[in-house]
């Protein structure tokens, strides 16, 4: 497996633990529909949140959350629409990004960007 895949998988595990600490329940990991993948689907109360996780080892080209472009957001929203219909979800939804920056010291800077696709 390529190093970037290892970092991505590590980031998704880190994001899962981070969200669980914030009271979210992990419902799905790596949910796929057609050409789209949703890294995490989490739930807290009556809010279903579709989460894109971005992990980077440096910020020379920007912060991790800046790498979610319009095309990626549209693919995630299309997959989410399928999931909502399939599960007959009738409550609130949200699209978030968990940004993980691995610092040169080895520590991590984790940011939770709520309603990321609407700002």
The answer on pLDDT for 1 being more than 70 is no
Q: Which of 53, 57, 52, 45 is nearest to 4 (CA)?
A: 57
97/39 Cα distance (integer angstroms): 10
Would you state the pLDDT for residue 46?
95
Mean pLDDT of the chain: 93
Q: How buried is residue 42: exposed, middle or buried, by Cβ count under 10 Å (0-12/13-18/19+)?
A: buried
Would you state the pLDDT for residue 106?
87
Domain range holding 69? 3-118
Q: Supply the CATH number for residue 50's domain.
A: 3.40.1350.10
The answer on pLDDT for 89 being more than 90 is yes
Would you state the pLDDT for residue 7?
87
Count up the domains in the chain and report the number.
1
Would you state the pLDDT for residue 20?
98
Distances (CA, A) of 48 to 27, 61, 94: 9, 31, 6
């Amino acid at each position: 497996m390529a190093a970037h895949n290892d970092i991505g998988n590590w980031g998704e595990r880190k994001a899962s633990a981070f969200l669980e600490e914030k009271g979210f329940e992990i419902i799905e990991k790596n949910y796929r529909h057609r050409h789209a993948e949703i890294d995490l689907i989490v739930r807290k109360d009556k809010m279903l949140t579709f989460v894109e996780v971005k992990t980077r080892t440096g910020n020379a080209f920007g912060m991790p959350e800046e790498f979610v472009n319009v095309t990626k957001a549209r693919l995630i929203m299309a997959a989410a629409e399928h999931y909502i219909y399939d599960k007959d979800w009738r409550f609130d939804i949200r699209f978030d990004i968990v940004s993980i920056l691995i610092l040169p010291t080895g520590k991590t800077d984790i940011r939770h960007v709520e309603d990321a696709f609407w700002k």
